[in-house]
Amino acid sequence: MTQQMVDERGNQIDSWFGERLSELRLLANLPAQHDYNRQQLFKETKALTKFDKHNYVSIRLVSRDGISYSNSHPSFSVQQRSYYREMQRYPQRGYTVSNLLTSKEDHQSIVIILYRLARPLADHTAYVAAAIPLAKVEALAHELSIYDGTGMLLGGDTDSPRINPQRELLLTTKLEQLPRWKVNYVVQKKELRENTQQLIRLLLIIVLVVIALLGLLLVLLLRQIVRPIENLTRTMNQIQIGGHDIRAVVEGPQEIQTLATTFNQTLDRVYENETKYREATIQVLQAQIQPHFLYNTLDTIQWQILGGDTDTAITMIENLSIFSGRDLTMDVSIQR
Protein backbone atom coordinates (compact mmCIF):
# COMPACT_ATOMS: atom_id res chain seq x y z
CA MET A 1 0.00 0.00 0.00
CA THR A 2 2.86 2.37 0.80
CA GLN A 3 4.51 1.60 -2.54
CA GLN A 4 1.21 2.28 -4.30
CA MET A 5 1.01 5.60 -2.49
CA VAL A 6 4.55 6.50 -3.61
CA ASP A 7 3.67 5.47 -7.20
CA GLU A 8 0.53 7.58 -7.07
CA ARG A 9 2.50 10.61 -5.91
CA GLY A 10 5.01 9.98 -8.70
CA ASN A 11 2.11 9.93 -11.17
CA GLN A 12 0.97 13.31 -9.87
CA ILE A 13 4.45 14.77 -10.39
CA ASP A 14 4.56 13.19 -13.87
CA SER A 15 1.17 14.67 -14.66
CA TRP A 16 2.31 18.12 -13.55
CA PHE A 17 5.41 17.96 -15.75
CA GLY A 18 3.29 16.58 -18.58
CA GLU A 19 1.15 19.73 -18.50
CA ARG A 20 4.28 21.88 -18.78
CA LEU A 21 5.56 19.79 -21.68
CA SER A 22 2.23 20.18 -23.49
CA GLU A 23 2.42 23.97 -23.11
CA LEU A 24 5.99 24.05 -24.38
CA ARG A 25 5.08 21.78 -27.29
CA LEU A 26 2.45 24.28 -28.41
CA LEU A 27 4.99 27.08 -28.08
CA ALA A 28 7.66 25.16 -30.02
CA ASN A 29 5.23 24.40 -32.86
CA LEU A 30 4.36 28.06 -33.50
CA PRO A 31 7.33 28.75 -35.86
CA ALA A 32 6.16 25.90 -38.10
CA GLN A 33 2.78 27.59 -38.49
CA HIS A 34 3.82 31.25 -38.89
CA ASP A 35 6.96 33.20 -39.69
CA TYR A 36 8.31 34.31 -36.32
CA ASN A 37 11.39 36.27 -35.39
CA ARG A 38 12.96 36.19 -31.96
CA GLN A 39 11.06 39.19 -30.60
CA GLN A 40 7.70 37.85 -31.77
CA LEU A 41 8.42 34.51 -30.13
CA PHE A 42 9.43 36.33 -26.93
CA LYS A 43 5.92 37.85 -26.87
CA GLU A 44 4.47 34.33 -26.92
CA THR A 45 6.76 33.17 -24.11
CA LYS A 46 5.88 36.25 -22.06
CA ALA A 47 2.17 35.55 -22.53
CA LEU A 48 2.66 31.97 -21.33
CA THR A 49 4.66 32.94 -18.23
CA LYS A 50 2.15 35.66 -17.40
CA PHE A 51 -0.77 33.25 -17.76
CA ASP A 52 0.99 30.47 -15.81
CA LYS A 53 3.35 32.53 -13.63
CA HIS A 54 3.49 30.04 -10.73
CA ASN A 55 4.76 27.24 -12.97
CA TYR A 56 7.57 29.09 -14.78
CA VAL A 57 10.49 31.10 -13.44
CA SER A 58 11.39 32.19 -16.96
CA ILE A 59 11.35 31.06 -20.57
CA ARG A 60 14.44 31.82 -22.68
CA LEU A 61 15.34 31.17 -26.30
CA VAL A 62 18.51 29.27 -27.15
CA SER A 63 20.34 29.53 -30.43
CA ARG A 64 21.82 26.65 -32.36
CA ASP A 65 25.29 27.53 -31.12
CA GLY A 66 24.27 27.46 -27.46
CA ILE A 67 23.60 31.10 -26.54
CA SER A 68 20.65 31.59 -24.17
CA TYR A 69 18.70 34.83 -24.80
CA SER A 70 16.20 36.61 -22.57
CA ASN A 71 13.92 39.54 -23.26
CA SER A 72 14.87 41.19 -19.94
CA HIS A 73 18.13 39.61 -18.72
CA PRO A 74 21.63 39.27 -20.17
CA SER A 75 22.41 36.39 -22.48
CA PHE A 76 24.90 33.64 -21.62
CA SER A 77 26.31 30.45 -23.08
CA VAL A 78 24.91 27.00 -22.27
CA GLN A 79 27.30 25.10 -24.52
CA GLN A 80 28.82 23.26 -21.57
CA ARG A 81 25.48 22.40 -19.97
CA SER A 82 24.70 18.70 -20.07
CA TYR A 83 21.13 19.20 -21.29
CA TYR A 84 22.31 21.29 -24.27
CA ARG A 85 25.00 18.76 -25.23
CA GLU A 86 22.47 15.95 -24.96
CA MET A 87 20.20 17.67 -27.48
CA GLN A 88 23.21 18.11 -29.77
CA ARG A 89 24.02 14.40 -29.56
CA TYR A 90 20.43 13.29 -30.25
CA PRO A 91 18.99 15.47 -33.07
CA GLN A 92 15.76 13.45 -33.16
CA ARG A 93 14.96 14.06 -29.48
CA GLY A 94 12.18 16.58 -28.90
CA TYR A 95 13.19 17.74 -25.43
CA THR A 96 15.42 17.02 -22.48
CA VAL A 97 15.32 17.87 -18.77
CA SER A 98 18.33 19.11 -16.80
CA ASN A 99 19.46 18.07 -13.36
CA LEU A 100 18.79 20.25 -10.35
CA LEU A 101 19.97 23.83 -10.93
CA THR A 102 19.81 27.22 -9.22
CA SER A 103 18.16 30.06 -11.09
CA LYS A 104 20.44 33.04 -11.80
CA GLU A 105 17.43 35.31 -11.82
CA ASP A 106 15.90 34.61 -8.37
CA HIS A 107 18.23 31.90 -6.95
CA GLN A 108 15.55 29.22 -6.46
CA SER A 109 15.84 25.53 -7.28
CA ILE A 110 14.83 24.81 -10.85
CA VAL A 111 15.12 22.36 -13.70
CA ILE A 112 15.48 23.40 -17.32
CA ILE A 113 13.27 21.85 -19.99
CA LEU A 114 15.03 22.41 -23.29
CA TYR A 115 12.46 21.96 -26.06
CA ARG A 116 13.43 21.86 -29.74
CA LEU A 117 11.53 24.24 -32.03
CA ALA A 118 9.57 22.56 -34.82
CA ARG A 119 11.38 24.89 -37.26
CA PRO A 120 14.41 27.05 -36.36
CA LEU A 121 14.04 30.83 -36.72
CA ALA A 122 15.91 32.82 -39.34
CA ASP A 123 18.34 34.03 -36.65
CA HIS A 124 19.20 30.38 -35.83
CA THR A 125 17.11 30.24 -32.64
CA ALA A 126 16.51 26.50 -32.22
CA TYR A 127 15.29 25.85 -28.67
CA VAL A 128 12.93 27.04 -25.98
CA ALA A 129 14.48 26.79 -22.50
CA ALA A 130 11.87 26.87 -19.71
CA ALA A 131 13.04 27.22 -16.11
CA ILE A 132 10.61 25.19 -13.99
CA PRO A 133 10.50 25.79 -10.21
CA LEU A 134 10.82 22.67 -8.11
CA ALA A 135 8.82 24.03 -5.19
CA LYS A 136 5.59 22.49 -6.49
CA VAL A 137 6.95 19.03 -7.25
CA GLU A 138 9.06 18.97 -4.08
CA ALA A 139 5.91 19.76 -2.13
CA LEU A 140 4.17 16.81 -3.78
CA ALA A 141 7.09 14.55 -2.83
CA HIS A 142 7.25 15.80 0.76
CA GLU A 143 3.51 15.18 1.22
CA LEU A 144 4.23 11.45 1.35
CA SER A 145 3.28 11.25 5.01
CA ILE A 146 0.93 8.29 5.41
CA TYR A 147 3.45 6.66 7.77
CA ASP A 148 5.27 9.89 8.75
CA GLY A 149 8.18 9.03 6.52
CA THR A 150 10.40 11.34 4.44
CA GLY A 151 9.70 11.89 0.75
CA MET A 152 12.19 13.51 -1.63
CA LEU A 153 12.56 14.25 -5.33
CA LEU A 154 16.01 13.28 -6.60
CA GLY A 155 17.66 14.17 -9.90
CA GLY A 156 19.92 11.98 -11.98
CA ASP A 157 23.05 13.46 -10.37
CA THR A 158 21.88 12.84 -6.79
CA ASP A 159 22.48 9.58 -4.98
CA SER A 160 19.70 7.87 -3.04
CA PRO A 161 19.88 8.45 0.73
CA ARG A 162 21.64 5.91 2.89
CA ILE A 163 19.36 4.00 5.22
CA ASN A 164 19.63 1.51 8.05
CA PRO A 165 18.09 -1.69 6.61
CA GLN A 166 17.27 -2.94 10.09
CA ARG A 167 15.10 0.05 10.95
CA GLU A 168 14.23 1.81 7.70
CA LEU A 169 12.65 0.97 4.35
CA LEU A 170 13.42 2.79 1.09
CA LEU A 171 10.68 2.93 -1.56
CA THR A 172 11.35 4.35 -5.02
CA THR A 173 9.29 5.19 -8.08
CA LYS A 174 10.55 6.51 -11.41
CA LEU A 175 9.03 9.37 -13.39
CA GLU A 176 8.04 8.82 -17.00
CA GLN A 177 8.34 12.47 -18.05
CA LEU A 178 11.67 12.85 -16.22
CA PRO A 179 13.63 9.69 -17.11
CA ARG A 180 16.61 10.38 -14.82
CA TRP A 181 14.51 11.59 -11.89
CA LYS A 182 12.84 9.54 -9.19
CA VAL A 183 10.83 9.90 -6.00
CA ASN A 184 12.36 8.30 -2.91
CA TYR A 185 10.49 7.66 0.30
CA VAL A 186 12.09 6.54 3.57
CA VAL A 187 9.80 5.07 6.21
CA GLN A 188 10.52 3.63 9.64
CA LYS A 189 9.76 -0.11 9.76
CA LYS A 190 8.48 0.16 13.34
CA GLU A 191 5.84 2.72 12.41
CA LEU A 192 5.03 0.74 9.29
CA ARG A 193 4.31 -2.37 11.40
CA GLU A 194 2.28 -0.41 13.95
CA ASN A 195 0.13 1.21 11.28
CA THR A 196 -0.25 -2.12 9.52
CA GLN A 197 -1.52 -3.67 12.76
CA GLN A 198 -3.97 -0.80 13.18
CA LEU A 199 -5.19 -1.34 9.64
CA ILE A 200 -5.63 -5.07 10.29
CA ARG A 201 -7.62 -4.33 13.46
CA LEU A 202 -9.79 -1.89 11.55
CA LEU A 203 -10.41 -4.45 8.80
CA LEU A 204 -11.24 -7.07 11.43
CA ILE A 205 -13.80 -4.76 13.05
CA ILE A 206 -15.35 -4.07 9.65
CA VAL A 207 -15.54 -7.81 8.89
CA LEU A 208 -17.20 -8.52 12.26
CA VAL A 209 -19.74 -5.74 11.73
CA VAL A 210 -20.54 -7.07 8.26
CA ILE A 211 -20.94 -10.63 9.61
CA ALA A 212 -23.23 -9.36 12.38
CA LEU A 213 -25.38 -7.47 9.89
CA LEU A 214 -25.57 -10.51 7.62
CA GLY A 215 -26.53 -12.70 10.59
CA LEU A 216 -29.28 -10.28 11.60
CA LEU A 217 -30.55 -10.20 8.05
CA LEU A 218 -30.53 -14.01 7.94
CA VAL A 219 -32.52 -14.22 11.18
CA LEU A 220 -35.11 -11.80 9.85
CA LEU A 221 -35.42 -13.77 6.63
CA LEU A 222 -35.80 -17.03 8.55
CA ARG A 223 -38.52 -15.51 10.70
CA GLN A 224 -40.36 -14.36 7.63
CA ILE A 225 -40.14 -17.78 5.96
CA VAL A 226 -39.80 -20.45 8.68
CA ARG A 227 -42.46 -19.19 11.11
CA PRO A 228 -45.35 -19.32 8.58
CA ILE A 229 -44.25 -22.83 7.55
CA GLU A 230 -44.19 -23.96 11.22
CA ASN A 231 -47.68 -22.53 11.76
CA LEU A 232 -48.95 -24.35 8.68
CA THR A 233 -47.42 -27.62 9.92
CA ARG A 234 -49.01 -27.14 13.35
CA THR A 235 -52.42 -26.57 11.73
CA MET A 236 -52.08 -29.82 9.74
CA ASN A 237 -51.31 -31.77 12.92
CA GLN A 238 -54.37 -30.32 14.69
CA ILE A 239 -56.57 -31.24 11.73
CA GLN A 240 -55.28 -34.81 11.84
CA ILE A 241 -56.52 -35.22 15.42
CA GLY A 242 -60.00 -33.99 14.57
CA GLY A 243 -59.99 -30.20 14.45
CA HIS A 244 -62.30 -29.76 11.49
CA ASP A 245 -63.02 -26.10 12.27
CA ILE A 246 -59.33 -25.15 12.23
CA ARG A 247 -57.89 -23.32 9.24
CA ALA A 248 -54.35 -22.23 8.33
CA VAL A 249 -53.39 -18.59 8.99
CA VAL A 250 -52.57 -16.76 5.77
CA GLU A 251 -49.27 -14.92 6.48
CA GLY A 252 -45.64 -14.65 5.42
CA PRO A 253 -44.24 -14.28 1.89
CA GLN A 254 -46.57 -14.37 -1.09
CA GLU A 255 -45.71 -17.97 -1.96
CA ILE A 256 -46.52 -19.22 1.56
CA GLN A 257 -49.74 -17.18 1.63
CA THR A 258 -50.78 -18.84 -1.62
CA LEU A 259 -49.95 -22.26 -0.12
CA ALA A 260 -52.04 -21.56 3.03
CA THR A 261 -54.99 -20.29 0.96
CA THR A 262 -54.89 -23.36 -1.30
CA PHE A 263 -54.69 -25.62 1.77
CA ASN A 264 -57.79 -24.02 3.32
CA GLN A 265 -59.73 -24.32 0.07
CA THR A 266 -58.74 -27.99 -0.20
CA LEU A 267 -59.98 -28.63 3.38
CA ASP A 268 -63.33 -27.03 2.58
CA ARG A 269 -63.75 -29.24 -0.46
CA VAL A 270 -62.71 -32.38 1.50
CA TYR A 271 -65.23 -31.67 4.29
CA GLU A 272 -67.95 -30.94 1.77
CA ASN A 273 -67.26 -34.21 -0.05
CA GLU A 274 -67.30 -36.10 3.28
CA THR A 275 -70.76 -34.72 4.08
CA LYS A 276 -72.09 -35.66 0.66
CA TYR A 277 -70.60 -39.14 0.98
CA ARG A 278 -72.20 -39.65 4.41
CA GLU A 279 -75.62 -38.58 3.17
CA ALA A 280 -75.36 -40.84 0.14
CA THR A 281 -74.40 -43.79 2.36
CA ILE A 282 -77.45 -43.24 4.59
CA GLN A 283 -79.72 -43.11 1.59
CA VAL A 284 -78.27 -46.37 0.26
CA LEU A 285 -78.79 -48.07 3.62
CA GLN A 286 -82.35 -46.79 3.84
CA ALA A 287 -83.04 -48.06 0.36
CA GLN A 288 -81.74 -51.48 1.37
CA ILE A 289 -83.53 -51.68 4.73
CA GLN A 290 -87.02 -50.37 3.87
CA PRO A 291 -88.21 -53.24 1.56
CA HIS A 292 -87.25 -55.96 4.06
CA PHE A 293 -88.67 -54.02 6.99
CA LEU A 294 -92.00 -53.40 5.21
CA TYR A 295 -92.28 -57.03 4.06
CA ASN A 296 -91.60 -58.39 7.55
CA THR A 297 -94.03 -55.96 9.19
CA LEU A 298 -96.88 -56.80 6.76
CA ASP A 299 -96.17 -60.48 7.16
CA THR A 300 -96.46 -60.13 10.94
CA ILE A 301 -99.73 -58.21 10.66
CA GLN A 302 -101.11 -60.94 8.38
CA TRP A 303 -100.32 -63.67 10.92
CA GLN A 304 -101.83 -61.61 13.73
CA ILE A 305 -105.06 -61.22 11.77
CA LEU A 306 -105.12 -64.89 10.87
CA GLY A 307 -104.52 -65.69 14.51
CA GLY A 308 -107.44 -63.50 15.56
CA ASP A 309 -105.32 -60.88 17.33
CA THR A 310 -106.90 -57.99 15.49
CA ASP A 311 -106.22 -55.35 18.14
CA THR A 312 -102.51 -55.95 17.98
CA ALA A 313 -102.65 -55.98 14.18
CA ILE A 314 -104.48 -52.61 14.18
CA THR A 315 -101.87 -51.15 16.57
CA MET A 316 -99.01 -52.31 14.36
CA ILE A 317 -100.73 -50.84 11.29
CA GLU A 318 -101.03 -47.46 13.08
CA ASN A 319 -97.36 -47.59 14.16
CA LEU A 320 -96.31 -48.51 10.63
CA SER A 321 -98.28 -45.55 9.29
CA ILE A 322 -96.60 -43.17 11.79
CA PHE A 323 -93.13 -44.62 11.09
CA SER A 324 -93.59 -44.42 7.33
CA GLY A 325 -94.67 -40.77 7.56
CA ARG A 326 -91.67 -39.84 9.75
CA ASP A 327 -89.29 -41.72 7.44
CA LEU A 328 -90.73 -39.91 4.46
CA THR A 329 -90.16 -36.56 6.20
CA MET A 330 -86.50 -37.46 6.95
CA ASP A 331 -85.96 -38.51 3.37
CA VAL A 332 -87.29 -35.21 2.04
CA SER A 333 -85.09 -33.33 4.51
CA ILE A 334 -81.98 -35.24 3.44
CA GLN A 335 -82.74 -34.59 -0.19
CA ARG A 336 -83.00 -30.90 0.50
Distances 75 to 43, 66, 91 between C-alpha atoms, Å = 17, 10, 24
Tens digits of pLDDT across the chain (336 residues): 777 877 887 788 888 888 999 999 999 999 988 888 999 999 999 988 888 778 888 899 999 999 999 988 889 999 999 889 999 999 998 998 887 777 766 677 788 899 999 999 999 999 999 988 877 766 766 655 444 455 556 555 566 667 777 777 777 778 787 777 777 777 777 766 776 777 888 899 999 999 999 988 888 877 777 777 777 787 777 777 776 677 777 777 777 778 788 888 887 788 778 778 777 777 666 666 566 667 777 778 878 788 778 888 788 887 777 766 655 444 434 444
At residue 229, the pLDDT reads: 78
List, as own/partner pairs, every contact residues 239-242 make where C-beta atoms lie below 8 angstroms and the sequence separation is at least 24, other chains included.
Answer: 239/267
Question: Where on the phi/psi map is residue 56: left (φ > 0), alpha (ψ -120 to 50), or beta?
Answer: beta
At residue 85, the pLDDT reads: 93
CA pair distance 183, 175, nearest whole angstrom: 8
At residue 63, the pLDDT reads: 94
Kindly give the interhelix angle for 135-142 and 2-33, rounded to the nearest 10 degrees: 160
| Cα Rg of the chain, angstroms | 53
Tally of CA atoms within 13 A in the half-sphere of 183 that contains its CB: 29
Question: pTM, whole model, 2 decimals?
Answer: 0.53
At residue 156, the pLDDT reads: 54
CA pair distance 63, 41, nearest whole angstrom: 13
At residue 135, the pLDDT reads: 77
Beta strand extents in 71-136 (DSSP E only): 76-77, 95-97, 101-102, 109-116, 125-133
Where exactly are the structural domains of the chain?
Answer: 2-134, 272-335
The architecture that CATH gives domain 2-134 is 2-Layer Sandwich (3.30)
Evaluate whether 109 touches 134 at the Cβ level (below 8 Å): yes
